[in-house]
Amino acid sequence: MANLYRSPEAERRVRDWCRRRLGGWAVPHETSTLETSLGTTHLVVAGEGATVCVYLPGTNFNAATSLGLVEQLSRRCRVLAVDLPGQPGLSSAQRPRPEAEGYGAWLEEVVAAVRSAYRPERLTVVGHSRGAAVALAGPVTVDALALVSPAGLAKVRMTRAVLATALPWMLRPTSARSAALLDLMSGPSAAPAPDLVTWLTLVAGDTRSSGAPGPLPGRITDRWRTRPVTVLVGSHDCFFPAERLGPAARDRLDAPVVVLDGLGHLAVEEDPELVVSRLPL
């Protein structure tokens, strides 16, 4: 299995970028690590209270790239933003095989550790894109599940526009190509954030990016049919459009889809305040 990072120096650059970004974040927070079956897992903890939210970012994203959302969550509850193992960030580079079962077991360990450390009155898991697929594979014992632009329910839509934008970014990354990819993943009124342009250029050059996971097997999604699940999607999501995601969520989870008007696949970055206002916290 290919290493996530292209070299030890590439790994250092990625991790240093994350540490610098977290170090410059003005919101009061703590960082910690948890030893799991997938190696060291890195967490950023902000906010306080008996309501706890575990946030799982999407492919190529992590806590350090999600500070806007984490700040909004911290105003409502205690939030733990977790870097997924096997994705660029501060957690282990180890990718689970098989993916769904491996991430599911890992998340069960994380949830157990959170319960032990904080004794929450209410525990919600929020996942974006790949993070949503991981959340679906995890324990159904949480109080609520929220999925934003989730992978794991339907096949990703690979249009010519997606391929024409993503492939050049992967093969020969530049700031302009990273900005174009962010623009594609966002709604029509969003402008690519300079920090995220820098981040995606770093990711494409220094890591071996992974594609979005496919639909999860029914034995995993069926467990959620009687559980409280919230599904959000941007009206301009290029990967999981509402017309595809809506029927999948109803058929597989018995859950309706809330469409966020004007937002894209990166709704959590475009308007974190709106996203958080729709979450079951």
Q: Is the pLDDT of residue 108 over 80?
A: yes
Residues composing the chain:
281
Segment 248-261, tens digit of pLDDT:
999 999 999 999 99
Nearest residue to 148 (alpha-carbon basis) of 171, 122, 115, 126: 126
- The residues near 74 (Cβ < 8 Å, ≥ 6 apart) are 27, 29, 46, 47
Q: How does pLDDT run across 174-222, given as a tens digit for each residue?
A: 999 999 999 999 999 989 999 999 999 999 999 998 888 899 999 999 9
Q: Please state, rounded to an integer, the average pLDDT across all residues of the chain.
A: 96
Task: Kindly list the strands in the beta sheet with 144-148, ordered across the sheet, starting from the edge strand earlier in the chain.
Answer: 29-36, 39-46, 78-82, 51-56, 122-128, 144-148, 229-234, 257-260
Where does the pLDDT of residue 2 fall: very low under 50, low under 70, confident under 90, or very high at 90 and above? Answer: low
Q: Using 50, 70 and 90 to split pLDDT, how confident is the model at 263?
A: very high
